[in-house]
A and B are shown apart, each in its own frame.
Chain A
Amino acid sequence: MTRFVVGRIGFYTLIALLLAFFTIPLLWLASAPFTSNPTYEVRMPDFTWENFEIILAHPYALGSLVNSLILAIGSAILVVVLSALAAYALSRVRLPGRDALLYALLLLSSIITGTAAMVPLFQLAIELGLIDSHTGLILIMTGGLLPAAIFMIKDFMDTTPKSYEESARVFGASPLQIVRHVVVPVVRPGLATIAVWTIANVWGNFLMPYLLLSDVEKQPAAVIMYTLYTEGGQANLKVLSTFGLLYSVPVVLMYLFVSKKYGFRFHGGIKR
């Protein structure tokens, strides 16, 4: 009996400690934006909205959020369209070298990271005149996300029955009509997941925009956030906390949405 009680106490203590470890750093984000004179310390907020008004007036804050949106949505559109087309073709047609290609994609998505590629990408951007351009950044980030996206969508399409397409085909639909009428609607959940995954990735990406965008007006929230706390002088905690919160909320909402609707398919790669 005592062993059970001691075990219980031990369990809850450990859980409490771990929970504290993970929660404490986060608390500041919840309290400081609503405090009129925030310090680094976490205190009970006095529930004011004035920090948000300051943000609205800040020259770069909202603009950077818009930039983040542009980059995220632009990349999402490109990734979804290109990966869906490629994945469909790879799923349905036995192209020569298909298996080798898929293996290569798998490898690429793991090896060529931002860190490994920052130097050549920077050089490439200069050569192609893509420095300081949202388009260039979108292209580069899309290129980086495509292999994994193709793999994920292809996986989804492989498990989609072919009878829908074959049925439409026997009714006389052309391949393009079949893709439009039948394939796209049926794989919509997969496409939505990829879109959200891309947006989440691009939204939080710091290195690429930091590397490739020099104009402050073009920089997304990731870079502005960093600038705000590294520029000289006393960090403006009102701006930082509020901006940080505004910047974080969209990703959190997206995660909640995806996990409610599709049950976040996130098991670390293990088949359940």
Chain B
Amino acid sequence: MALTTSPPDPKALDAAPARGYSSDAAGLGRLRAGAFVAPALALIAVFLVFPALWVIYLGLMNYRLTGIAAAEPGFVGLDNYLKALSDPGFWNSTVLTFQFVLGSAVIGQAVLGFTLAWLMRNRRGTLKSVVEGIVILAWILPSAVVAFLWVALLDRDSGTLNALLGIPGFAWLLDYPMLSIIVFNTWRGTAFSMMLYGAALGNVPPSHLESARLAGASGLQQLRDVVFPHIRGHILTNLLLISLWTFNDFGPFLLTAGGPENKTEILAVYVYKTALQAGDLGYGAAISTIILLINLVVAIFYLRLLRSRK
């Protein structure tokens, strides 16, 4: 799912009731409360929970989009998973996804986001609004539109980038596809990190920074000695979150559709191609299960970290 705002705050789970007064202010009662919750839970159960569980089952079958196996799928046990282990396509995708996450999230968005937050930390006024506005614009525009904006930018013959650099005929998307999608995704997602670090920096007590400055610390030293200790926790949780999002991002499909020659076939695209283009749903389900498990591990780790910090 595309746009998210701030991730839900797990602290809400620990809120203790004040004074023990009845919290059922309107006298709803358990029965009515159950009825209120039921429709949402039903929808979540059918369209979120069930698919997540069903995909495990699907991965153990040999469902196909067409053909005999579509009508009468058979149980194949762990065959699909074993297939993944020996499938060069799968490993290619895994390595590419790792590069993608490392390059655009861990390095790209986090570093750029922090840099912007740091540069804008003491400013109010127009400059800040303009910078933040443009960066956020890159984030909120629909993915199909930004993908094409980059297709246009990187066009070999008449793209703006080549025009600016004076190198017409340079095929970014063909010759450096991975770099292209990494830069693209960095551009796209920096806003979130920028806002997060902006808030984190805002929480650093100004008195600490002042003391450091008065003691003669340069900007970089202040950064190292005062700021980083304060925001260390935020850095880790931010990295986890954006890595999770980037790992699941389907956006590069819109730019390169996995090509050229599978060079940008990250896992999300690989699943799509295997299951929905080639029609091997069973195998696609197995890979999806793997993706889900990875998501689960990262998410639990992230939530644990958040809760321990509160």
A complexed with B: yes
State how many angstroms separate the Cβ of B193 from the closest Cβ of chain A. 7
Chain A residues closer than 8 Å to B23, beta-carbon distance: 91-94, 162
Residue on B with the closest CB to A149? B40
Main secondary structure of the interface of B (DSSP, over half): helix
- B residues in contact with A166, CB < 8 Å: 25-26
A195 interface residue, CB < 8 Å from B?
no
Query: Does B250 contact A206, Cβ atoms closer than 8 Å?
Result: yes
Give the most central of A119, A221, A265: most B CB within 10 Å. A119
- C-alpha spacing A90/B32, complex, angstroms: 11
| B28-69 at interface with A (beta carbon < 8 Å) | 28-30, 32-34, 36-37, 39-41, 43-44, 46-52, 54-55, 58, 63
Complex: how many Å from CA A201 to CA B5? 10
CB pair A93 B138 closer than 8 Å: no
Please indicate the chain B residues that have their CB under 8 angstroms from the CB of A116 in the complex: 52, 55, 248, 288, 291-292, 295
- Given contacts A15-B127, A112-B48, is CB(A139)–CB(B25) below 8 Å? no
Count of chain A residues with a beta carbon within 8 Å of a chain B beta carbon? 117
Q: Which of B148-202 contact A (CB under 8 A)?
A: 148-153, 155, 157-161, 163-164, 187, 190, 192-193, 195-200, 202
Chain A minimum-CB-distance residue to B112 = A18
Q: Is the CB of B249 within 8 A of A115?
A: yes
- Are the C-beta atoms of A144 and B153 separated by less than 8 Å? no
Q: How far is the CB of B84 from chain A (nearest CB, A)?
A: 14
How far is the CB of A84 from the nearest CB of chain B, in Å? Answer: 9
The answer for the CA separation of A181 and B113 in the assembled complex, in Å, is 44
Q: A32 to B299, alpha carbons, bound, how many Å?
A: 42
Residues of B within 8 A of A165 (CB): 25-26
B7 CB, min distance to chain A CBs, angstroms: 5
Decide: A183 and B26 in contact? CB cutoff 8 A. Answer: yes
Closest to A139 in B: B47
B226 CB-CB contact with A under 8 Å: no
Chain A residues contacting B199 (CB-CB under 8 Å) are 267-268, 270, 272
Q: With an 8 A cutoff between CB atoms, is A44 at the interface?
A: no
Do A112 and B292 have beta carbons less than 8 Å apart?
yes
Q: Is A57 an interface residue (CB 8 A)?
A: no
A85/B25 in contact, CB under 8 A: no
Name the interface residues of A43-92: CB closer than 8 Å to any CB of B: 78, 82-83, 85-86, 88-92
Q: Which residues of chain A are near B159, meaning CB under 8 Å?
A: 40-41
Bound-complex Cα distance A123 to B63 (A)? 9
Known: A41-B163, A110-B244, A112-B292. A124 touches B49 (CB 8 A): no
Complex interface: chain A residues within 8 A of B157 (CB):
40
Q: How far is the CA of A14 from the CA of B284 in the complex (A)?
A: 45
**Chain B positions 66-86 with a Cβ under 8 Å from a chain A Cβ:** none
Q: Tell me whether A93 and B47 are in contact (CB under 8 A).
A: no
Contact A111 B47 (CB under 8 A): no
Q: Are A120 and B54 in contact (CB under 8 A)?
A: yes
A11 with B288: in contact, given A144-B1, A179-B26 (CB under 8 Å)? no
Q: In the bound complex, how far is the Cα of B166 from the Cα of A255, in angstroms?
A: 36
Q: Is the CB of B12 within 8 A of A158?
A: yes
Residues of A close to B27: CB separation below 8 A: 169, 175, 178
- Write the nearest CB–CB distance from A83 to chain B, whole angstroms: 6
Is A203 on the interface with B (CB-CB < 8 A)? Answer: yes
State which of A24, A89, A106, A169 has its C-beta within 8 Å of the C-beta of B36: A89
Q: Say if the beta carbon of B104 comes within 8 Å of chain A.
A: no
* With known contacts A89-B28, A111-B292, A221–B142 Cβ distance under 8 A: yes
Per-position 1/0 for A99-116, Cβ under 8 A of B: 100110111111111111
Q: When the two chains form their complex, are residues B4 and A148 in contact, meaning their CB atoms are under 8 A apart?
A: yes
B285 contacts A119, C-beta separation under 8 Å: yes
A41, B134: Cα distance in complex, Å:
20
Pair B48/A108 contact, Cβ less than 8 Å: yes
Instruction: Please tell me which one of the listed residues A94, A102, A142 contacts residue B43 in the complex, with CB atoms under 8 A apart.
Output: A142
Inter-subunit contact A143/B47 (CB<8 Å): yes
> Hey, which chain A residues are within 8 Å of B241, CB to CB?
269
B contact residues vs A (CB 8 Å cutoff): 1-10, 12-13, 15, 23-30, 32-34, 36-37, 39-41, 43-44, 46-52, 54-55, 58, 63, 112, 115-116, 119, 127, 130-131, 134-138, 140-153, 155, 157-161, 163-164, 187, 190, 192-193, 195-200, 202-203, 219, 234, 237-238, 241, 244, 248-250, 254, 257, 267-268, 271-272, 275-276, 281, 284-285, 288, 291-292, 295-296, 299-300, 302-303, 306
10 A-B pairs besides A28-B153, A123-B281 with CB distance below 8 A are: A15-B119, A18-B115, A114-B248, A119-B276, A119-B284, A121-B51, A142-B43, A164-B25, A168-B26, A268-B196
